[in-house]
Amino acid sequence: MYEVGVGKADITAFKLGVGMMGYGMYYNIVKGVETDLFARAMVIRDTTTGKKVVLVNAEICFITIAIKRGVWKKLRRKHEHLDFQEDSIMLSAQHTHSAPGGYSHFGLYNMSIPGFAPEVYQKVVDGIVDAIVEAAENLQPATIKVSRGAIEDEKEVAFNRSIEAYNENPEVKTKLKKEEASQAVDRNMLLLRVDDLEGNPIASWNWFGVHTTSLSNDNHRICSDNKGYASKFHEDKVKKRKKDKFISVFAQRKAGDVTPNWKWDRKKKWTRGKFEDDFESAKFNGNIQFEHAHRLFKKAKSASDLPTQVDHAMTFVDFRKVIVDKEFACGQKDARTGPACHGVAFFEGTKEGPGMPPAVGALARVLCRGQKAYELAAAPFKPKDKAERIYEKYHTQGPKDILIEADERRILGTRDVKNLVIPAWADPAIGNFKKFHANGSLGDKPWIPQILPIQLIIIGDIALAGIPAEITTIAGQRLEDSLLEILADRGVKEVVCSTYTNAYCGYITTYEEYQLQLYEGGHTVFGQHFLGAVQTKFKGLALELLKPENERNVVEDGRPTFFTDEELELRSFNIETQKRLIQL
């Protein structure tokens, strides 16, 4: 039998002028609040074995190393009696781009905020912990049922924004046209329904992949966007009394190349949703997700109970140096990853969230290719270790035009960021990074995490793969399929890519998609074989879950970089740097 408890807490961290996380644009700052933001939690316990897991979904862009670490630290310090294990807690985000940022300790994710925002970080951590504690203290006997089904093709809910890359995959037998982008996504939703023993609903938790970006980068009001509206619509529909403890979570799955936007806005020069008013588009999209989820929710009422089984495992992987198993190497020899690098395509953005202007992007590509030619020509005359690092970088990163080396802390080949040739006035975000470098707050630590957690949680015959990134449609399908092949021996019938989970490092594309170097490929930081590396490491973790618990040997590569309070203070958000952007 299962015991289940749920909790919900406010995480609306209003901080005037702080940058929103997601689009990375310096002008996308907080000036007001459209909707509150929440963290929703569910604790599930197997009464036979006593094992329990915690699922959390937060209405922010993504979970960071700092958030996961802060939550775990507070649970140990103030709620030790709840007896949680670190690897049993899965923190995920629904990926709204209209929530405040500043809750990462790593420099690159502070670039457009600008800085670390202690108040935002603490509000999110405290809210997540409050939701978990509420859920843990309200455990009750419950049934869990599963329902699944695809959203109808005619529903304008999800579209592949990188159809050219999608078509490169061998799984795509018939190449799709741009107007067929709604077919190049996984339209299936998986939903868990939780009831008490009297049949009263406790929770609904579903996974469906579509970016939470109905609101564009010119928005200045905190909002949970389409998935937040969907959650509210469903909770309002199911609750009979305001005091009822019912939560509805609309979590992400394979959303890396999936957008809710498909109409070209001639005025703004980017794609938008159904309506010119982004908030109406967000409600429209959220309503489609809500209506489908509610149909599945009602259907689940008559489904069989989920078999009772709870298990979990987590490890930390240094993705700078993973040797890819042959079965995941796409026929390539010497498939491996390398230190994190961001390509020009990442900074150029997407059709729904454009970044640097095309002319600037073209210039950046010329500079990057010149830097590559220079480094390869000079490598034979350098010490062996330096030469090997150069060769490794360009081997693992393949066709990427490398603009930022996050591990090596270089932009356009130089560590002297404060004197970078790109002037601060050309891009205020670059100006912020120059300031951080000048005051020493970037230090000698990587600008994004290189050692990252991967996690597996089994609930009944469903397995959740906690991924610290966003994964494209076909890449996610490959990972789910390879894990299912192993975990079927545990009775697992479906694997779910739980994305934006426990940490964040960018994207995961297929090897084939990566070669085109569209936005997603430019943001696949550990190189062209990152998906293969993720599959390799998840395979190892899944094989451990086939063993009796006392025989498991889950080995970590280390732990992510730790930042001191002094380093963070030098890089903290300061309203004075934003005043000129705020129209009071």
Side chain identity, residue 543: L
pLDDT of residue 584: 42
Whether 351 maps to a domain, the answer reads no
pLDDT of residue 242: 67
pLDDT of residue 426: 66
For residue 179, name the pLDDT band (cuts at 50, 70, 90).
very high
Provide the H-helix boundaries in 439-564.
Answer: 473-487, 511-514, 519-522, 530-545
pLDDT of residue 580: 46
For residue 437, name the pLDDT band (cuts at 50, 70, 90).
confident
pLDDT at residue 583 greater than cutoff 50: no
pLDDT at residue 387 greater than cutoff 50: yes
Q: Determine contact, residues 159/181, Cβ cutoff 8 Å.
A: yes
Q: Is 245 helix (H, G, I), strand (E, B) or coil?
A: coil
Number of domains making up the chain? 1
Backbone angles phi, psi at 569, to 5 degrees: -65, -40
CA distance 432 to 276: 32
The arithmetic mean of pLDDT across residues 377-396, rounded, is 96
Provide the H-helix boundaries in 20-81.
Answer: 65-78
Whether 419 maps to a domain, the answer reads no
CA distance 236 to 233: 5
Q: Is 142 helix (H, G, I), strand (E, B) or coil?
A: strand
Whether 14 maps to a domain, the answer reads yes
Q: In this predicted model, what pLDDT tens digit does every residue of 456-476 receive, in sequence order?
A: 999 999 999 999 999 999 999
Least-confidence region, from 2-16, 41-55, 86-100, 424-438: 424-438
Q: How much of the chain, in percent, has pLDDT values that exceed 70?
A: 97
Whether 18 maps to a domain, the answer reads yes
CA dihedral (472, 473, 478, 480) in degrees, to 10, reads 100
The arithmetic mean of pLDDT across residues 388-412, rounded, is 96
Residue 379's CB is within 10 A of a number of other CB atoms, namely 16
The Cα angle at residue 512 between residues 511 and 515, in degrees rounded to 5: 90
The Cα angle at residue 214 between residues 208 and 220, in degrees rounded to 5: 130
Q: How much of the chain, in percent, has pLDDT values that exceed 90?
A: 90
For residue 424, name the pLDDT band (cuts at 50, 70, 90).
confident
For residue 581, name the pLDDT band (cuts at 50, 70, 90).
very low
Distances from the Cα of 505 to the Cα of 196, 415, 469, 487, 516, angstroms:
38, 21, 6, 26, 20
pLDDT at residue 63 greater than cutoff 90: yes
Q: In this predicted model, what pLDDT tens digit does every residue of 32-61 receive, in sequence order?
A: 999 999 999 999 999 999 999 999 999 999
Whats the size of the chain, residue-wise? 584
Provide the H-helix boundaries in 167-273.
Answer: 225-238
Whether 163 maps to a domain, the answer reads yes
pLDDT at residue 579 greater than cutoff 80: no
Whether 160 maps to a domain, the answer reads yes
Of residues 241 and 551, the one with the higher pLDDT is 551
pLDDT at residue 575 greater than cutoff 90: no
Mean pLDDT across the chain? 95
pLDDT of residue 428: 73
Distances from the Cα of 121 to the Cα of 29, 33, 83, 299, angstroms:
16, 17, 24, 39
Side chain identity, residue 259: T
CA distance 474 to 454: 19
With tokens 């990188």, the residue in question is 162
Range of the domain at 506: 2-315+450-551
Whether 182 maps to a domain, the answer reads yes
pLDDT at residue 145 greater than cutoff 80: yes
Q: Determine contact, residues 109/21, Cβ cutoff 8 Å.
A: yes
Whether 557 maps to a domain, the answer reads no
pLDDT at residue 421 greater than cutoff 80: no
CA distance 526 to 523: 9
Q: Determine contact, residues 8/41, Cβ cutoff 8 Å.
A: yes
Q: In this predicted model, what pLDDT tens digit does every residue of 317-371 receive, in sequence order?
A: 999 999 999 999 999 999 999 999 999 999 999 999 998 888 889 999 999 999 9
